[in-house]
């Protein structure tokens, strides 16, 4: 895709997010757009940066480390979200590189993150991933275990959990999953809800998303 095409698609997505905010009577700008740039290089990301956008999502620590330091030299106010699974042995790099980690989903990782946050004096915002569809191949805490997990993050590891993230099963209508995530957030006093991707972000905004993660609608099909 050409740089012009990517810029146009980005503006269209931005306008649709704003429209969904208006439709729901939500405040303008209350839904943050995370542009998911995984598997795309700097030439695809630049048109979006040049359009003034600063919030991006990446799935892999390694890939983000290869791509973003150079881009950040030119755009130093970029906010990077980690939206892919995080191995505990990459916690150090993740804390150094990311502003938001959306995939906190087990105590061994909570412990490593707490250690690195204390060591590095850098505090990425943390979201707990919930496996709302209870899919064995997917990361995330099950809905039955999530309240206890959030409590353990707070009390045992001293972490400030800010919200929740989910990836609904591909073959199911997503709305029930979005509603479940919103319900879990409410009962745990959490304000941030990362839900909704290219195919379903309008429904997610309807059900209270504060962050939508949009890749292919901006950058096109991956690989």
Binding site for ligand PLP (CB under 6 A): 36, 38, 59, 83-84, 167, 197-199, 213-217
Terminal C-alpha separation, the chain: 12
Q: How far is the CB of 193 from ligand PLP (least distance, A)?
A: 13
Nearer to ligand PLP, 114 or 182 (CB): 182
Please state the closest distance from residue 151 (CB atom) to ligand PLP, in A.
25
Tokens of 31: 């839904």
CB 73 to ligand PLP: min, Å:
26
Angle, CA 212 vertex, CA 40 and CA 57 arms, to 5°: 30
Q: Which CB sits closer to ligand PLP, 59 or 210?
A: 59
Give 36 or 117: the residue with its C-beta nearer to ligand PLP.
36
Q: How far is the CB of 33 from ligand PLP (least distance, A)?
A: 11
Query: Taking the alpha carbons of 178, 180, 185, 186 in that order, is the dihedral positive or negative?
Result: positive
Q: Which is nearer to ligand PLP, 57 or 208 (CB)?
A: 57
Shortest gap between Cβ of 38 and ligand PLP (angstroms)? 6
CA separation, residue 5 to residues 15, 19, 170, 211 (Å): 15, 21, 27, 24
Query: Measured at CB, which residue is nearest to ligand PLP?
Result: 215
Q: Which is nearer to ligand PLP, 114 or 193 (CB)?
A: 193
Smallest distance, Å, CB 10 to ligand PLP? 12
Which DSSP string do the residues of 26-50 spell out, in sequence order?
PPTT-SEEEEE-TT--HHHHHHHHH
Nearer to ligand PLP, 106 or 213 (CB): 213
Sign of dihedral through CA atoms 177, 88, 82, 21?
Answer: positive
- Sequence-distant (6+) residues with CB within 8 A of 52 are none
Which secondary structure element, helix H or strand E, spans residue 3, and what is its range? helix 3-23
């Amino acid at each position: 895709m050409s740089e012009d095409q990517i810029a146009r698609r980005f503006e269209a997505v931005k306008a649709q997010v704003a429209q969904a905010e208006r439709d729901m009577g939500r405040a303008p700008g209350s839904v943050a757009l995370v542009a998911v740039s995984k598997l795309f290089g700097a030439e695809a990301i630049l048109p979006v940066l040049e359009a003034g956008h600063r919030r991006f999502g990446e799935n892999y620590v390694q890939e983000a480390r290869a791509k973003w330091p150079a881009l950040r030299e030119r755009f130093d106010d970029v906010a990077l979200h980690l939206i892919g699974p995080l191995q505990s042995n990459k916690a150090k790099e993740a804390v150094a590189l990311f502003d938001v980690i959306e995939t906190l989903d087990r105590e061994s990782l909570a412990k490593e993150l707490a250690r690195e946050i204390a060591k590095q004096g850098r505090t990425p915002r943390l979201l707990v991933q919930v496996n709302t569809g209870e899919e064995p191949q997917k990361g995330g805490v099950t809905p039955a275990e999530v309240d206890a997990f959030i409590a353990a993050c707070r009390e045992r590891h001293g972490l400030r959990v800010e919200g929740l993230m989910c990836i609904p099963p591909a073959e199911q209508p997503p709305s029930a999953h979005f509603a479940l995530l919103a319900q879990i957030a409410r009962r745990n006093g959490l304000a941030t809800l990362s839900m909704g991707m290219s195919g379903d972000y309008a429904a997610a905004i309807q059900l209270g998303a504060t962050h939508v993660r949009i890749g292919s609608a901006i950058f096109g099909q991956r690989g």
